[in-house]
Amino acid sequence: MITVAGFNTAIDRFIQIDALKPGQVHRVRKEKTYPGGKGVHVAQTIAALGEPVRLVGLVDAAHEQFIARQMSARGVQLRGVEINGPLRQCLALQESGGSITEILGQGPQLSQVEQDDLLREFGRSVENSSLVILSGSLPRGFADALYAGLAEYVHGLGKRCLVDASGEVLRKAVGAKPFLVKPNRDEVSELVGHPVINIEAAHMAVKVLRERGIAMPVVTMGDLGAVAANETGIWHAQLAPTRLRNAVGSGDCFLAGLAVAIKRDMPLDEALRLAVACGVANAESEETGFAERSSVEALLPKVTVHRL
Ligand X SMILES: Nc1ncnc2c1ncn2[C@@H]1O[C@H](COP(=O)(O)OP(=O)(O)OP(=O)(O)O)[C@@H](O)[C@H]1O
Residues that bind Mg ion (CB under 5 A): 184, 251
Contact 247, 283 (CB under 8 A): yes
Tell me the one-letter amino acid at 121: E
279 binds ligand X (CB under 6 A): yes
Binding-site size for ligand X (CB under 6 A) equals 21
Q: Which of 225, 261, 271, 285 binds ligand X (CB under 6 A)?
A: 225
d(CA 292, CA 231): 31
Near ligand X in 179-198, by CB under 6 A: 184
Among 6, 36, 249, 257, binds ligand X (CB under 6 A): 249
Q: How many CB atoms lie within 10 A of CB 73?
A: 10
246 binds ligand X (CB under 6 A): no
Residue closer to ligand X, measured from CB, 53 or 226: 226
- Residue 181 CB: number of other CB atoms within 10 A? 29
End-to-end alpha-carbon separation of the chain, Å?
Answer: 33
Contact predicate 280/208, CB 8 Å = no
Q: What is the nearest approach in angstroms of Mg ion to the Cβ of residue 66? A: 24
Distance of CA 237 to the CA centre of its chain: 18
* CA–CA gap between residue 121 and residue 4 (Å, rounded): 12
| Cα–Cα distance for residue pair 307/98, rounded to 1 Å | 34
User: Among residues 61 and 244, whose Cβ is nearest to ligand X?
Assistant: 244
Residues 2, 156: Cα–Cα separation, whole Å: 17
Smallest distance, ligand X to C-beta of residue 222, A: 4
- Establish if 136 lies at the interface with ligand X (CB under 6 A): no
> Cβ of residue 184: shortest distance to Mg ion, in angstroms?
5
- Residue 262 interacts with, from Mg ion, ligand X, none (CB under 5-8 Å by kind): none
Burial 212-238 (b: 16+ CB within 10 A, else e): eebebbbbbbeeebbbbbbeeebbbbb
Minimum Å distance from CB 250 to ligand X? 4
Q: Is 222 in the site for ligand X (CB under 6 A)?
A: yes
Judged by CB under 6 A, which stretch of 12-20, 126-134, 198-206, 274-282 contacts ligand X? Answer: 274-282
**Closer residue to ligand X in complex, CB, 170/247:** 247
Q: Is 86 in the site for ligand X (CB under 6 A)?
A: no
Residues that bind ligand X (CB under 6 A): 184, 220-223, 225-226, 240-241, 244, 247-252, 254, 276, 279-280, 283
